[in-house]
Amino acid sequence: MSQSPSTSASLSTRLIDELRPICLAATGQERVGHRLLAVTMGLILVSGRTMLTRVLLALGLGWRDWSATYRLFRQARVDLAVLRRAALTRWLRQYPADGPLLVVLDGTQLPRTSRTMPGVGFLRAPRTPAWRPGIHYAQRWEGLSGLTPLRAEGDTRAIPLWFEPAPTPKASPWAGIAPRPEWAAGLAALGWLRTELAQQAAARREIVVLADGAYTGAEMWNGVPDHTTLLARCAKNRALFALPPAPTPGRGRRRLYGDRAPTPQEQRAAPGGWQTVTCQVRGQERQLRTKLTGPWVVRKASAHPVFLITVAGISRQRGSRRIQRDPTYYLVSARQAATGIWDLPYALQELVRWAWQRWEVEVMHRELKSGWGLGDQQQWHPVSAALVPQWVVWASAMALLLAGDTPPVVPATKWYRGRRWTPRDVLTEVRQDLWHQSLPEFLLPAGGCPTTRVENAAQPPPPLAWLRIAHAISRLNALSCSLPTTFADDVHHAARCKVPNLRNWPLWPVSADTCAWWARRLATSPCLTITYHPGPERGASVREPCRPSPRRPVRARPAAAKRHLASPLAA
């Protein structure tokens, strides 16, 4: 791992260099900030379920007191506003000074195991068939994600910027968080984004919001902030109305709506008005038949006209496979020109290209749950139940933003040819940076350093992830606050022996040689078995895990139990 935070440094080094000042600013205390940095790196490293306990075990801190780490989230010692502002600032750097910002509004569910958890209620299970829908215990969350600038190949990535709970009215009580619908949480997210942009002298920056059908109600259209364009899917039977006629002189109430317009499905069936739009989507050129109609107004939102964009579906046979895509319908905010005529805010081709990229937020939700373990953390306290998922989302956002500067190498194997990097590739590269260093490299025989005897040189022992994390964090002088003090002794001892990887690392005063500590700590490692040889010529033997111990003898069972096991029905 490189020792200088430059562009040539590894992703793990740049990630730690970027997260350290943010963690210190979000906590306001050096000791707590280093603890937040340590658990964030442990979250990236842990495999399997990402409970907070497993994060501590991945860091090698399972033998220490866990209460300090749990208080970090239970007592709200982390300022979420600072974390969100850091991710937003990093995301804004990718966009030029002019041009709109692309964001996506979408909700998701976090499955839970207990009805007593805050905000848990019955929600429709997404993994049940449409003809037999099911329910499950889950929390509903609302997220605002920023899309990276659209490349020429039609690629982009969704970066989570804002993530807050939106409990249903019948969910279990959540102290400090009131139930709210998805559109209300979406307006809150847009309000936060507008406030942050105003603080960065970008109050008039144009924003394009991509959303699904849950955000096409009248409340949403009436609450969209200024300089914001909403592009959302709508139902095929959406009620639309023409613009009201010009007011006539005389008494009476002014009309708010014109005549009832055909539904989107009826407008699609009407002949004429189709035009072909060419879009580059994920490396492939798409020919889409589209139809533009409007302006229309929706009920209870007559002051905000909209246009209807219809994208025709496809149904064709390709060999033995049938390709089919249903038609889709979008409502987009209309913009009034100086002449008073309502027109599209952007070109039709651009709107269709942006609408296609909304699916990136669904990919991001899948990666958050399967790769980062979002939802694995079962929290019952109302503060930690809201803070821990947002911390996981923020950690993933920072890793993705840093990976966007220098994209990771896309793996290419005999059965996989990746065209673009994925969020899982980011996790893989960071973990490889933390794991690639083998233990014998830190135990080389030189200058009185503990000697290493590898019994099987053809298969060297696997590296220890907690050691790489410790060395990476020790470079930032965070060991004394978040990891055992003896780690600093080991780093100093290795550097004193002029190990190439630690030659330029900072040194701390040490009390004594810590070879015995190596034996005590590593003897419990699931990967290696360490034997310490005391005496003037100290050394340690490193070998592969031994064969599993023989099974313990089975205790004699009663005669009745033996007869039961011997029965063919019992088998």
Which of residues 342, 368, 394 is at a domain's end?
Answer: 368
Is 4 domain-assigned?
no
Cross-strand bridge partners of residue 151: none
Q: What residue type is 471 in one-letter code?
A: H
| Cα–Cα distance, 466 to 54 (Å, whole number) | 12
Strand 274-281, strand 228-233: pairing: unpaired
Same domain, 447 and 342: no
Same domain, 319 and 444: no
Same domain, 343 and 457: no
Same domain, 361 and 490: no
Cα 63 to the center of its chain, rounded Å: 29
Q: What is the DSSP string of 277-322?
A: EEEEETTEEEEEEEEEEEEEEETTEEEEEEEEEEE--EEEEETTEE
The pLDDT, as a whole number, for residue 431 is 81
Same domain, 167 and 274: yes
3-state secondary structure (DSSP) of residue 229: strand
| Cα–Cα distance, 493 to 540 (Å, whole number) | 15
Same domain, 209 and 348: yes
Check if the beta carbon of residue 41 is closer than 8 Å to that of residue 424: no
Is 378 domain-assigned?
no
| Cα–Cα distance, 283 to 542 (Å, whole number) | 49
Q: Which contacts (CB < 8 Å, 24+ apart) does range 493-496 have?
A: 493/449, 494/442, 494/449, 496/447
Same domain, 446 and 303: no
Is 183 domain-assigned?
yes
Same domain, 200 and 307: yes
The pLDDT, as a whole number, for residue 413 is 65
Is 299 domain-assigned?
yes
Structural domain that includes position 280: 81-246+256-368
3-state secondary structure (DSSP) of residue 365: helix
Strand 451-454, strand 539-543: pairing: parallel
The pLDDT, as a whole number, for residue 385 is 92
Q: What residue type is 166 in one-letter code?
A: A
> What's the number of domains the chain is made of?
2
Cis status, amide bond into 295, omega within 30 of 0: yes
Q: At 320, which CATH number?
A: 3.90.350.10
Q: At residue 307, what are phi and psi to the nearest 5 degrees?
A: -110, 150
Is 241 domain-assigned?
yes
Is 14 domain-assigned?
no
Which of residues 350, 368, 386 is at a domain's end?
Answer: 368
| Cα–Cα distance, 47 to 58 (Å, whole number) | 9
Is 283 domain-assigned?
yes
3-state secondary structure (DSSP) of residue 426: helix
| Cα–Cα distance, 455 to 532 (Å, whole number) | 15
Which of residues 368, 398, 423 is at a domain's end?
Answer: 368
C-alpha distances out from residue 189 to 80, 101, 194, 234, Å: 14, 14, 9, 21
Residues 6+ away with beta carbon under 8 Å from 490:
442, 514, 517, 518
Is 271 domain-assigned?
yes
Q: Residues 190, 196, 200, CA angle at the centre, nearest 5°?
A: 140
pLDDT per residue of the chain (571 residues) written in tens, 0 to 9: 333 334 457 788 888 889 999 999 999 888 899 999 989 988 888 878 888 888 888 887 777 788 888 999 988 889 999 999 999 999 999 998 888 999 999 999 999 988 899 999 999 998 888 888 899 999 999 999 999 998 888 888 999 999 999 999 999 999 989 999 999 999 999 999 999 999 988 889 999 999 999 999 999 999 999 999 999 999 999 999 999 888 777 777 888 888 999 999 999 999 888 999 888 887 788 888 999 998 999 999 989 999 999 999 877 777 777 777 889 999 999 998 888 889 999 999 999 999 999 999 999 999 999 889 898 888 899 999 999 999 999 999 999 998 876 666 666 666 666 677 788 888 888 887 777 643 334 333 333 333 333 333 333 333 344 444 444 444 433 333 333 444 444 444 443 333 333 333 333 333 334 444 444 444 444 433 333 333 333 333 333 344 444 444 545 545 444 444 333 333 3
Same domain, 352 and 448: no
| Cα–Cα distance, 237 to 158 (Å, whole number) | 30
Same domain, 438 and 363: no
| Cα–Cα distance, 556 to 571 (Å, whole number) | 19
Same domain, 336 and 438: no
**Which one, of 24, 173, 25, 138, lies nearest residue 482 by Cα?**
24
Residue 536, H or E segment: none
Same domain, 158 and 272: yes
